[in-house]
Amino acid sequence: MRDSQRAFLNDLLATASPSGFETPSQRVWTDYVRGFADEVSVDAYGNAVAVHEGDPDAPTIALTGHADEIGFIVRDVLDDGFLRISRIGGSDRTVSKGQHVTVHADEPVQGVIGQTAIHLRDRSEDEYEKIAEQFVDIGAADAEEARECVEIGDPVTFSTEVEELVGDRIAARGIDNRTGTWAAAEGLRRATERDIDATVYAISTVQEEVGLQGAQMVGVDLETVDAFVAVDVTHATDNPDVDGEHRGPVELGSGPVIARGSANHPVLVDLARDAAAAADIDVQLQAAGTRTGTDADAFYTVQGGVPSLNVSIPNRYMHTPVEVVDIADLDAVADLLAAIADGAGDATPFAVDV
């Protein structure tokens, strides 16, 4: 990964983007893709679209990732200055207490999610409180002082930064799924470098974590797209605390993950596998018998049936402040996306043979 590509990734991961509040992250993304896209546009809710215009007779393929992350939102300011919070998306109540957080008010406000000291708790009654029962301490003496800094509806995220681990691995908050938006942008850039025949869209959607909302908006707007490839993270289950019931075939550092079943169109699955083989990219397979849990589930039905595919990045510890990915996997996903777009013409029409 080149320095400029890594800087773009770091900028995305450093920019808070909870669902419904994605604008700062989308600015980072659009600033980057303007360097090579033929056109960049943003809709009313902040879905960002960049395009490489290809041959009018060649297929059109969209490479997508979602910009939003899970988080919290201020729902009340208590008389003693503490903040009550609610969840944004699938926030995990087992990892939130005792964490540094940032309240994204007009000016960022630092705080902590309080955890009573172990000395003062009845250990026999320890349990994980619901998010709605937890609180943020910003240091305010009372409600009046707190309200000078924050207000109801301000989003809240963990304050973790990108950390370098051993080898090519990094840990950060929000890897789900700004690594996907990074890959979509990089896939487009690598496709433009090849000057491929297909028209290629790169899309950074909003509000995936609260119901695939941005994908439904984009799916309606882009009527000319022949196929969508939704890039998201998936569970790498190669850490020792994953039990047998949940342990799967996906490992960190073993390459992009191609999903099969449900939304994943078989012609696109074959295209992705063939493109990977031709480009000497190692890939992993994952079963999606009912749903993918990604934007692909919205794209493939929103216009009555648009061929779609979910390609994933292996990710440990999803929906925690310490998600872990391998940089080599990210690079390989971007290469695979460009290869898929390059091979799209030979795979059309994207239709099953009945």
Sign of CA dihedral 137, 139, 141, 142: negative
Q: What is the rounded CA–CA span in Å between residue 62 and residue 37?
A: 13
Residues 110 and 235 occupy one common structural domain: no
In a domain, 257, yes or no: yes
Residue 186, classed as helix, strand or coil, is helix
| 209 annotated among ligand-binding-site residues | yes
Spatial distance between the Cα atoms of 336 and 59, rounded to a whole number of angstroms: 17
215: exposed, middle or buried (Cβ count in 10 Å: 0-12, 13-18, 19+): buried
Which 3 state secondary structure label does DSSP give 284? Answer: strand
Q: How far is CA 200 from the centre of its chain?
A: 20
User: Do 182 and 309 fall into the same domain?
Assistant: yes
Q: Of 126, 158, 190, which closes a domain?
A: 158
Look at residues 236, 209, 259 and name the one whose alpha carbon lies nearest to residue 323.
Answer: 236
Residue 108 resides in a domain: yes
Phi then psi dihedrals of residue 146, to 5 deg = -65, -40
* CATH, residue 86: 2.40.30.40
b/e code 322-342 from CB counts within 10 Å (16+ = b): ebbbbbbbbbbbbbbbbbbbb
Residues in the chain with pLDDT values less than 50: none
User: What Å distances lie between residue 118 and 98, 124, 126, 130, 327, CA to CA?
Assistant: 11, 11, 10, 19, 38
Q: Based on the domain organization, do 242 and 322 belong to the same domain?
A: yes
User: Considering the domain boundaries, does residue 302 fall inside one?
Assistant: yes
Q: Are β-strands 323-326 and 169-172 bridged in parallel, bridged antiparallel, or unpaired?
A: antiparallel
The residue from 208, 245, 251, 323 that is catalytic is: 208
- Give CA torsion, residues 331, 334, 337, 341, to 10 deg: -120
**Burial class of residue 279 in the structure, from the number of CB atoms within 10 Å of its CB (0-12 exposed, 13-18 middle, 19+ buried):** middle
Same domain, 291 and 321: yes
pLDDT at 227: 97
Q: In the structure encoding, which two tokens stand for residue 34, read together?
A: 């303007």
Active site residue 125: no
- Residue 353 domain-assigned (yes or no): no
The pairing of strands 60-66 and 199-205 is: parallel
Token pair 């320890």 in the structure block, residue = 126
41/103 same-domain check? no
pLDDT on residue 61: 98
Range of the domain at 37: 3-69+173-347
Is 166 inside a domain boundary? no
Q: Are residues 232 and 309 in the same domain?
A: yes
Q: What is the CATH number of the domain that holds 11?
A: 3.40.630.10
State whether 305 and 261 are in the same domain.
yes
Question: Within this chain, do residues 76 and 58 fall inside the same structural domain, yes or no?
Answer: no
Q: No. of H helices and E strands in the chain? A: 8, 17
Statement to judge: residues 106 and 249 lie in one domain: no
User: Residue 176, annotated ligand binder?
Assistant: yes
Q: Of 158, 184, 206, which residue constitutes the final position of a domain? A: 158
pLDDT in tens, 105-162: 999 999 999 998 988 887 777 788 999 999 999 999 999 999 999 999 999 999 999 9
Question: What is the count of structural domains for the chain?
Answer: 2
Residue 163 placed within a domain: no
Q: What is the distance between the alpha carbons of residues 179 and 162, in angstroms, rounded to a whole number?
A: 12
Contacts of 337 (CB under 8 A, 6+ apart): 63, 183, 184, 186, 187, 188, 190, 191, 229, 231, 311
What sign does the dihedral 97-99-105-110 (CA atoms) show? positive
What residues pair up with 231 in beta bridges, in sequence order? 311
Within a domain: 76: yes
Please tell me whether residues 203 and 91 are part of one structural domain: no
Structure token pair of residue 190: 């690598």
Q: In Å, how far from its chain's centre is CA 83?
A: 27
164: in domain: no
Q: Tokens 């794209």 belong to which residue?
A: 299
Q: What is the model's pLDDT at position 6?
A: 97
Beta-bridge partner residues of 135: 84
Residue-level pLDDT at 247: 82
Q: Are 279 and 336 in contact, with CB atoms under 8 Å apart?
A: yes
Residue in 235, 205, 232, 179 with CA at minimum distance from that of residue 302: 205
Which of 128, 158, 188 is a domain's end point? 158
Q: Are residues 61 and 183 in the same domain?
A: yes
What per-residue confidence (pLDDT) applies to 122?
79
Residues 57 and 190 occupy one common structural domain: yes
pLDDT at 245: 75
- Is residue 280 part of an annotated ligand binding site? no
